[in-house]
A and B are shown apart, each in its own frame.
Chain A
């Protein structure tokens, strides 16, 4: 496990809901990240974000970690859930509410 992978793994395991994104929740730097934040906010979920633009190692490493080529990436309870398209589909079907709601 490389240093970056270990750091990613720690972040994923230590946070119930974490979004790896471009920019911050307040200032997303990409339309897809912005959409992911909008969905999480609509859910009223408490979540952490990691700005991959601030960390090139994490930016590259996260793609290998999940075998997923794009950002944003959502992790819930240590599991990779998907990117913003999957988040939207799951939000529309109610699955995401369930996944996140089972939290509290």
Chain B
């Protein structure tokens, strides 16, 4: 079931408001995407937890409605983040 990139971005932002989201449609079929999500909220979380946060934002669509989402997560690379 294809899903527009804008909807993926919207869902991620709804749950991780400070996220910087970049989506690429890998196959042009609306079903295979790569997403890069950068958020200060990922600081201190393991990669698994960061990815799980994105999967949670997408509310169970990954692996179902959304067949393939190649995912990359990161914490913004700045010195200004305080803890």
Using a CB–CB cutoff of 8 Å, the interface residues on chain A facing chain B are 31-32, 63, 67-71, 80-83, 85-86, 89-90
**Ordered nearest first, which 3 A-B pairs have the shortest CB separation?**
A69-B63, A69-B62, A70-B63
Q: Which residues of B contact A67 (CB under 8 A)?
A: 52
Q: Which residues of B contact A90 (CB under 8 A)?
A: 47
B55 CB contacts on chain A under 8 angstroms: 68-69
The answer to whether B62 and A86 have CB atoms under 8 Å apart is no
- CB < 8 Å neighbour of B47 from A32, A63, A70, A82: A82
Q: A69 — nearest CB in chain B belongs to which residue?
A: B63
Partner of A68, one of B52, B68, B69, B72: B52
A83–B55 CA distance with the chains assembled, in angstroms = 12
Query: Which residues on the B side are within 8 Å of A31 (C-beta)?
Result: 68
Given A67-B52, A68-B52, A80-B48 in contact, is the A85-B71 Cβ separation under 8 Å? Answer: yes
Q: When the two chains form their complex, are residues A86 and B68 in contact, meaning their CB atoms are under 8 A apart?
A: no
Task: Kindly state the separation between the CA atoms of A71 and B69 in the bound complex, as whole angstroms.
Answer: 11
Chain A residues in 8 Å Cβ range of B63: 63, 69-71
Q: How far is the CB of A69 from chain B (nearest CB, A)?
A: 4
Cβ-defined partner of A89 (8 Å) among B52, B60, B69, B72: B72
Point out the residue from B51, B60, B64, B69 that lies within 8 Å of A86, measured CB to CB: B51
A89 and B62 form a contact (CB under 8 A): no
How distant is the Cα of A32 from the Cα of B63 in the complex, in angstroms? 12
